[in-house]
Chains A and B, each alone.
Chain A
Amino acid sequence: MAERMIQRTSVGQRLIHWIHGISFVILGLTGLALFHKSLFGLTAIFGGVDSARYLHRVFAWIFTFNMPLFIAVWFKDCGIIDALDRKWIACGMGGYLPIKSLYAGCPPAGKFNAGQKMFYWTAVLGGILFVVSGFIIMNPLGLAKQTVRAAYILHDLATICTVTFFFAHLYLGTLGAPGSLRAIFQGNVNEEWAKHHHGRWQIG
């Protein structure tokens, strides 16, 4: 019997996700190369520190222009954390923290679970922080030194949060939940998968 496939993401969502994702990864690799001297070896991937910085600045612009679109197209799905979501979190992140006592009576996740929504907000808030602090860092001359120095810290804070969360996303989108990848490549998932992971999803 053929599996029933359910449309999960729109073309626009996927496109913008990937623009965001690819620029994030390139920005990440080029940026981490200068995050700490121990990571400086990453510059080799890009043929040296100058080209790494150049790429960082090019993708900064792509990232920046994509950011409002990213916020917009994903907001409806991921922007609203409702009461059931909060409950879901309280139940050990819907069982991701497998503690039986907490999990009892856990509501199923909606189309996107609260963890995914939290990741959306991390990406959004982190992204805005990246953009604002990044442009300060890019053109610091003439600005108050305190402002620039604060930007260094904020840019790093954004890095730490998004990168740390990014690994979660990477894991949960692949190994952690087999079958998820289709959602962001082909745009659909099979019904079984949907029911299992997103029981509350009102499939239209």
Chain B
Amino acid sequence: MAEKACLVDVTKCIACRGCQIACKSWNQLPAEKTTFDGTYENPPDLSASTVTKIKFREVAEGGKVKWLFRKVQCFHCTDAGCVKACPVPGALTKLEDGTVYLDQNKCTGCKYCIMNCPFEIPRWDATKGKAFKCNFCYDRTSNGLPPACQKICVGGAIQYGDRDTLIAYAKTRPGFLYGEKELGGLHWMYLLPVDDPELYFLPKEPKLPKSLIVWKDILKPIGLILGGGSILAWLGYHFLLMPQKEKLTKEAEKHS
């Protein structure tokens, strides 16, 4: 199966936030009680009931103003920190089409994914005791439909399709592609007008936390070897060395 992805042309986004509503509508996520606190941006942050939102930034320089918008949601990384961190088989899975799927039924609420996402995406729901994030509308995409946010986008800012095709298309466009190589390749990629991802709230070179690699790729295997090895070692000891030890100490006792 070809890998699917979304490509967001940030210059085309008008921040109408139809995507935020379409997401809540399709996924039946509740509204949040918000207040206007000086910016159009609302809700103020991602949450268990807001798994996608538009971030706003006003830039004033040299008498000119720019108003920048960037859609935030799970990036569905190829090398996904959350998948690596998750201890429960099947709770966070990398699917064939590139979706990083968080199965709410299996999630046990350990928050490892929240702590290890390089983009700080998953959010905690205290009442449900589970992590939440965008699942790429897998119930739609697996039935041949685009994600709800893409479907509603009037500005043509979001495109959905085969990842390779989108990358090829992006390379014909002016601007900078974010997400082709990052973390083994993201499945939400961004076409930026300037080579400054941080301006659009994107980390410049996103990397998995080093601690995650130490933890998962070094410590855990060593632990398994040592733990399992310990059992075997003592069994071996009992039959091979213990008799010798007994002999040694008995002899010593005799001498004394």
Contact = CB atoms under 8 A, between A and B. Distances in A.
Contact of A196 (B87, B89, B219, B249): B249
Given A95-B249, A163-B227, A167-B230, A49 B220 contact: no
Contacts of B181: none
A159 interface: yes
Q: From DSSP, what is the main secondary structure of chain B's interface residues?
A: helix
Interface in B197-256: 209, 211-212, 214-215, 219-220, 222-224, 226-227, 229-231, 233-234, 237-238, 241-242, 244-245, 247-249, 252-253, 256
Contact of B248 (A95, A152, A199): A95
B88 interface: yes
B114 interface: yes
Contact of B215 (A34, A103, A140, A153): A153
Contacts of A196: 249, 253
Given A149-B211, A196-B253, A36 B223 contact: yes
Contacts of A106: 252
A120 to B, nearest CB: 18
A53 interface: yes
Contacts, number: 110
A160 B108 CA distance: 23
Interface residues of A, number: 43
A35 B219 CA distance: 10
Nearest to A34: B87
Interface string A75-103: 00000000000000000001111101001
A176 interface: yes
Interface residues of B, number: 42
A3 interface: no
A127 to B, nearest CB: 17
Contact of A36 (B114, B211, B224, B256): B224
Interface string B110-132: 11101110000000100000000
Nearest to B226: A164
A136 to B, nearest CB: 10
Contacts of A38: 224
A148 interface: yes
A63 B112 CA distance: 23
Contacts of A195: 253
Nearest to A141: B124
A102 B74 CA distance: 61
Interface string A15-44: 000000000000000001011111010000
A149 B230 contact: no
Contacts of A140: 111, 114-115
B248 A40 contact: no
* Most chain B Cβ neighbours within 10 Å, of A157, A159, A164: A164
Interface string A38-57: 10100000000110010000
Contacts of B214: 153
A164 B89 contact: no
A40 B220 contact: no
B223 A171 contact: no
A34 B111 CA distance: 13
B227 A98 contact: no
A159 B230 CA distance: 13
Contacts of B237: 171, 176
Interface string A144-188: 011011101100110110011101101100011000000000000
Nearest to B129: A50
* Most chain A Cβ neighbours within 10 Å, of B88, B116, B212: B88
Given A40-B88, A157-B219, A176-B242, A103 B252 contact: yes
10 contacts: A50-B108, A95-B249, A98-B241, A98-B244, A140-B115, A141-B124, A156-B223, A160-B222, A167-B230, A168-B230
Given A50-B109, A156-B219, 15 more contacts: A32-B227, A34-B87, A34-B108, A35-B220, A53-B108, A53-B110, A96-B245, A141-B111, A146-B211, A153-B219, A159-B223, A163-B223, A163-B227, A171-B237, A176-B234
Please list the 7 inter-chain residue pairs (A to B) with the smallest Cβ-Cβ separation, ordered nearest first.
A98-B244, A149-B211, A34-B87, A171-B234, A167-B230, A160-B223, A164-B230
